[in-house]
Amino acid sequence: MEEQFIIEKLKNPETRQYGFNLLTREYQERVYWHIRKMVIDHDDADDLTQETFIKVWKNLDKFREESRLFTWIYRIATNECLNFLSKKKRKFFVPIHDVAGELASKIDEGHLVSGDEVQLKLQKAILTLPEKQRAVFNMKYFDEMKFDEIAEVTGTSVGALKASYHLASKKIEKFIQGD
Amino acid sequence: MNLDDIKLKSPPYQVPEGYFEDLNAKILERTSTVAPESVVLWYRKPAWQMALASVVLLVAFTFVWFNGAPAAEQDYLADVSDEEILIYLANNDLTESEIIENYTFMDEDFSIESEELLEDIEIEDNMLDDLYLEYEINELSIQI
């Protein structure tokens, strides 16, 4: 569905609810998977996805069309993930690597997780990246977003993102080959 | 393992059956009880907010007006005539260097900052040589 069509519906108070319905149907899966890859656990991803769309709804008037609609939504979703992971660390006084370890153990538990050994190894390798770098890697590698789109989500320059992705790829390959 | 392997592009995660159909309904149900926050233009704000803002501004302005900025050192001499200054200097036998030492071109704080700034500047020896050549400064004296 054309993004502009949804935006026009959202702008009009009379069709706003209808436009938001279209928006959630259009983007909910992409947003869910973006979040799920960050937080691993389905229940956490479910909560954060709902929170993301509630924030989108509450802040519709703040969308200025200076960025694309889906990058704006992705930005909200990414911030929800980063805040969630940050609170996790603070709440339990868990150092960074332990949060990554906790997330890796969720992969091992196998609840709504199944894949071959290489796929699981890749996911654990990605978990060794710092959260922001992980988000960038996921958006580029799995979502195949363009760097200028990722730049709208993260507010980072394209050059920095390219460098970040390149380094992340090298780190992941090294982690996997190291086993 | 090659990251370009197409198999790796699918993460190994699943969702419960019918999850996304339910998700849409859940989101719409939760948002139906929440109104979008509209951006309120300043002239549409409630009267009491406008009055409070005005009072705060008035208090701040009054505070600045009556306290004012501290007078600069130069202001102390503003009411003294040039003739009186010349008479004072003649009667007190001050040398040129004593006058220069006691005359501050800048606020004390600024001069402290500039010293700190200079401490951080690393000047290489060859740069110093260039400076000496340019300004014909010798190590013993500075000609003004």
* Least CB–CB distance from B1: residue in A53, A60, A118: A118
For helices B19-32 and A42-58, the axis angle rounded to 10 degrees is 40
Long-range (24+ apart) CB contacts under 8 A made by A143-152 are A143/A30, A143/A34, A149/A68, A149/A71, A152/A67, A152/A68, A152/A71, A152/A72, A152/A75
What is the distance between the alpha carbons of residues A32 and A27, in angstroms, rounded to a whole number? 8
One digit per residue, the tens of pLDDT, for chain A of length 179 reads: 789 999 999 999 899 999 999 999 999 999 999 999 999 999 999 999 999 999 999 999 888 888 899 999 999 999 999 999 988 877 666 555 577 788 888 888 777 887 778 888 888 899 999 999 999 999 999 999 999 999 999 999 999 999 999 999 999 988 888 75
User: How much is the ipTM here?
Assistant: 0.81
CB A154 within 8 A of CB A135: yes
Q: What's the gap in Å between the CA of A52 and the closest CA on chain B?
A: 10
Question: Which residue from B minimizes the CA distance to A57?
Answer: B36
Q: What's the gap in Å between the CA of B12 and the closest CA on chain A?
A: 5
Token pair 């993301």 is found at A52
Contacts of B18 in chain A (CB under 8 A): none
Alpha helices in B11-122 (DSSP H): 19-32, 47-67, 82-92, 96-102, 108-120
Find the angle CA(A143)-CA(A147)-CA(A150) to the nearest 5 degrees: 65
Find the angle CA(B129)-CA(B131)-CA(B132) to the nearest 5 degrees: 65
Cβ B36–A28 below 8 Å, yes or no?
A: no
Q: What's the gap in Å between the CA of A175 and the closest CA on chain B?
A: 11
Whole-prediction pTM value? 0.64
